[in-house]
Amino acid sequence: MTHLSSYIDHTLLKPTATKAEIIQLCEEAKKFRFFSVCTNSYFTSLAKEHTQNSNVKVCTVVGFPLGAMSTEAKIYETIQALKDGADEIDMVINLGLLKAKDYTGVIRDIASVKNRLPNQVLKVIIETCYLTEDEIITASELTIKAGADFIKTSTGFGPHGATIEHVRLMKSIAKDHAKIKASGGIKDFKTAIEYIKLGVDRIGTSAGITIVTGK
């Protein structure tokens, strides 16, 4: 197995995050060789500055955490994040469109962001805690159809985060068409390994250090 730290997007998305905390996040990511740091878009340039000359990527969330803003707003936020140095974008699906079965609208929302990413990775957060199993299947299928690279479980701001059952279901749809990112509530080594064994390629967590050190 690839070293556990390389699966982790070291995450700080709380609304009270400060510049000092983001800098600390970056230093931790470099020390423990996490795959990326994941921050709100305001901090993208700061994260890029403090991860330069390292292998740590910068992941920026877009349309976070509700996903209910206009597609045009998501596009603008994505373009600005790229200018500021983002390597990956984690965007939130429009749950209202999905619930209304406006599947064309869901695909357009995702594809409009993906089309602004010449080389960068797009992960789409489907927020499984609000979805039925059938909706998880549909959301996964639409995400793949729209060209996203990853299907992601959660923002971490809903009633609960990733579950084994939901990840297993998402993986059954994604197959080799897209990768899976599990996030929300993953806070220890045993849980992280369980998700990796299910086939996830990335784990979003604010507990990366605890996961890899057991402390």
CA dist., res. 43 & res. 29, Å (int): 15
Structure tokens at 29: 């990511």
CA dist., res. 120 & res. 19, Å (int): 25
Write down how long the chain is. Answer: 215
184 in Cβ contact with 159 (< 8 Å): no
* 9 labelled catalytic: no
* 181 labelled catalytic: yes
- Least Cα distance to 187 among 165, 213, 168, 166 occurs for 213
Q: Which of 123, 152, 171, 179 is catalytic?
A: 152
* 152 labelled catalytic: yes
Q: Which of 9, 84, 90, 149 is catalytic?
A: 90
Q: Which of 84, 171, 181, 201 is catalytic?
A: 181
CA dist., res. 25 & res. 30, Å (int): 9
Q: Which residues contact 38 (CB under 8 A, 6 or more apart)?
A: 9, 10, 11, 12, 13, 59, 60, 61, 90, 204
The residues annotated as belonging to the active site are 90, 152, 181
